Amino acid sequence: MRKAKDISIKDLVEKAKEMRAYNMIALTAAGSGHTGGTLSIMDIAAVLYLKVINHDPLNPEWEDRDRVIWSVGHKAPALYVALGMAGYFPLEETVKLRQLWSGFEGHPNRFVLPGIEISAGSLGQGLGVAVGSALSAKLDEKNYRVYCIMGDGEQQEGSIWESVMSAAHYRLDNLVGIIDLNGLQIDGTTDEVMNVAPLAEKYRAFGWEVIQADGHDIEKLLEAFEIAKKIKGKPVVIIAKTIKGKGVSFAENVTGYHGIPPRDGRYGNESLERALLDIYGGDDHAFTPEAIDGLLGRAKDYYEEVKSKLKGSLPSYSKDYWWNQTDIMMVEMDPTRMGFGRALSSLGGDEITVAFGADITSSIKMDDFFKGHPERKKRFFSMGIAEQNMTTVAAGFAKEGKTSFIGSYGVFVSGRNWDQIRTTLCYNNLNVKIAGAHGGISVGPDGATHQALEEIPLMYYLPNMKLVVPCDALETEKATKAITGIQGPGYIRFGREATPVVTNAETPYVFGMANIIRFRQVQDNFIDAFEIYISNDYKNENEDICIVSCGPMVAESMRAAWILKQEFGIETRIINMHTVKPLDKECLMRAAEETGRILTVEEQQVRGFGNIIAGGIVAGNHLKAFAMEMMGINDSFGESGNPWDLMKAFGLTAEHIAQKCKKLTEKQ
């Protein structure tokens, strides 16, 4: 057991500075991550891990250890430097933040690093885990204490208050909640987005002991934790007033620094160099240019190892077919969410249309509803971090004749409120359109908790639901407009990062009817190398195989068709199943009969989309046998990493697709 009782307040202050420095170096090396919240929580993390809790870094699973549950998973970098400083692993390793296979994922994963009590990233869930852990201690007559770190914006989630109520009901005096009260969240101040005040009065009303403290005063924090240990018969919450971005001048109280690293990188006005000067109050600190070079070089060297492994695992061909690697078959890149934003800007002119924000308004382009249209602000409603409430409130508008747009990251907006979607939206057939943003592993470094890999079947099997998974930004705009014109609930799945634009304004698009894509010949521009048809206009060309895909996997399927033709002379029919429900079954049945080989490719759990396609094929009366295989994520969660690296690591690039097709065509 390790109790760091002998560390002085002065030493804690210095350790917190060092933790802030490593945090900023890691964020700079990663090129992404959360600056503001990691800095606001850092003094609390230092006090907890270096002074307050009973734990043993050499024996992380010691059963009598105190537990610290980080409900605010996006503040993982602060957790990592706290664990490193406490001795769970070398502190220098934290500079590998958000890199593939490093363990230092965008949101904490308890299976890959010691000291992490629970994998987290979806807000509002940690306090419930903490209640269960504290109840378990009572049941087993254990003396360990449970601490749960939460954000103030997180208090907008209804699940928090269910846990608050249960903790008081069971008189859990071994539970301490900690609220990082920095007053800011992604969409603005907490007061503006969805006011949670007065928190102290609310927790008291629920039966908690409330302690308020300055979250940056080490001495006051220590006093607060000591008082908390003496409270009997009820849980305790420490409401710690903090400054988002504390210690770094350009990030302090700046909303925009919620989810980004220093804008200027290593040098400049908003840079790592400036941050270190701010943290230490001048030039006198241990992080010399040489030391920083060494740490950033450590991260760079690690990434070179990752790239080398990925390159070795990628199927090779006679030449490099990767995107934009030569002066032929060039393609533009654009995030599909931009197409959603453009559609929403156009659709928002309808006076019966309303839209909702869920604290990631700009990230998913929901703010395009009112950008440049101030008169629409009255029809935009901020719900904060509360997907279930947003869904049912939107349903209320729809019941009164409005068309409601709601949205969030796909994993949250399709999963957390699935029952509300099923019962309130679908059962009542209400006109609510759902933006499922940031779909698939191509979200990248945020990691598994933010990568939606299951929502296609979740939405498909709901009665009355319509489901579109467009392939690029232009098709996203068309699909959003099309699904809006159809009565009832609809779901639009699209990604975050820039992906190839493989259609244009003239590309035919009909809701409910798939597109057939055929590679013809190499061109300077990628899109010119293909012809695209509405499915019922296409005439059989006796292709060797058919690839059925949706979303960003359509572009990879097209590139695979190019590889297959150039390398092996294999002709490929591609079906862009942009409308997954209603499904174009006739197109699928024809493909099975005419090609005899079907490969489905999906950027989510394999067979989620593939089984839907298989069901569509066998729905007809087929006498002719056909071969079928599926590609996707193989029953696993995603990981942190660069988007294209993840596509390679999970075997979803054109190179992998072409390899699979080649093997399938060789089967009799």
Could you state, in order of their start, the residue ranges of all structural domains in the chain?
9-280, 333-500, 515-665
Structure tokens of 63? 């059963």
CATH class as words, domain 515-665:
alpha beta
In angstroms, the CA 513 to CA 222 distance is 64
Strands 579-581 and 466-468: what pairing? antiparallel
Query: Mean pLDDT, to the nearest integer, of 616-644?
Result: 91
In angstroms, the CA 524 to CA 180 distance is 54
Distances (CA, A) of 303 to 100, 138, 271: 8, 45, 22
Max CA separation in the chain (angstroms): 80
Tell me the CATH architecture of domain 333-500: 3-Layer(aba) Sandwich (3.40)
As beta bridge partners, residue 354 has 404
Tell whether the model's pLDDT for residue 304 goes beyond 60.
yes
Q: 3-7, 213-217, 218-222, 601-605: which range is least confident on average?
A: 3-7
Query: Letter for the amino acid at 466?
Result: K
pLDDT of residue 621: 64
pLDDT of residue 282: 83
**Average per-residue pLDDT for the chain:** 96
In angstroms, the CA 51 to CA 239 distance is 19
Asked whether the beta carbons of 475 and 504 are under 8 A apart, the reply is no
pLDDT of residue 624: 81
Instruction: Give CATH for domain 9-280.
Output: 3.40.50.970
Quickly tell me which residue has 């209320």 as its tokens: 396
Q: Is the peptide bond between 289 and the residue preceding it cis, with omega within 30 degrees of 0?
A: no
Structure tokens of 494? 């699209």
- Cα torsion angle, 452, 453, 456, 458, sign: negative
Distances (CA, A) of 475 to 335, 408, 413, 471: 11, 20, 21, 6
Q: What percent of the chain has pLDDT over 70?
A: 99
Q: Is the peptide bond between 198 and the residue preceding it cis, with omega within 30 degrees of 0?
A: yes
In angstroms, the CA 286 to CA 279 distance is 12
Quickly count: other Cβ atoms within 10 Å of residue 446's Cβ: 25
pLDDT of residue 216: 98
pLDDT of residue 284: 78
Query: pLDDT confidence of 5, banded at 50, 70, 90?
Result: low
pLDDT of residue 285: 84
In angstroms, the CA 575 to CA 648 distance is 22
- Cα torsion angle, 255, 259, 261, 263, sign: negative
E strand segments, 375-431: 380-382, 403-409
- Closest alpha carbon to 626 in 571, 651, 585, 589: 589
Q: Do 333-500 and 9-280 have the same topology in CATH?
A: yes
Burial class (CB in 10 A: 0-12, 13-18, 19+), 568: middle
Q: What percent of the chain has pLDDT over 90?
A: 97
pLDDT of residue 625: 87
Asked whether the beta carbons of 96 and 145 are under 8 A apart, the reply is no
- Closest alpha carbon to 368 in 384, 380, 383, 386: 380
pLDDT of residue 283: 75
- Closest alpha carbon to 145 in 68, 81, 66: 66
Helix (H, G, I), strand (E, B) or coil at 267: coil
pLDDT of residue 330: 98
E strand segments, 475-596: 490-493, 498-500, 515-519, 530-534, 545-549, 572-576, 579-581
pLDDT 10s digits, 141-196: 999 999 999 999 999 999 999 999 999 999 999 999 999 999 999 999 999 999 99
Quickly count: other Cβ atoms within 10 Å of residue 328's Cβ: 12
pLDDT of residue 667: 82
Claim: this prediction has a pTM higher than 0.85: yes
In angstroms, the CA 48 to CA 16 distance is 11
Burial class (CB in 10 A: 0-12, 13-18, 19+), 654: buried
pLDDT 10s digits, 245-261: 999 999 999 999 999 99
Burial class (CB in 10 A: 0-12, 13-18, 19+), 174: buried
Query: pLDDT confidence of 619, banded at 50, 70, 90?
Result: confident
- Cα torsion angle, 119, 125, 129, 130, sign: positive
Quickly count: other Cβ atoms within 10 Å of residue 401's Cβ: 8
Question: What φ, ψ does residue 559 adopt, rounded to 5°?
Answer: -65, -35
In angstroms, the CA 576 to CA 555 distance is 9
Burial class (CB in 10 A: 0-12, 13-18, 19+), 148: buried
- Closest alpha carbon to 182 in 164, 202, 196: 196
Quickly count: other Cβ atoms within 10 Å of residue 457's Cβ: 18
Query: pLDDT confidence of 262, banded at 50, 70, 90?
Result: very high
Helix (H, G, I), strand (E, B) or coil at 280: helix
pLDDT of residue 468: 98
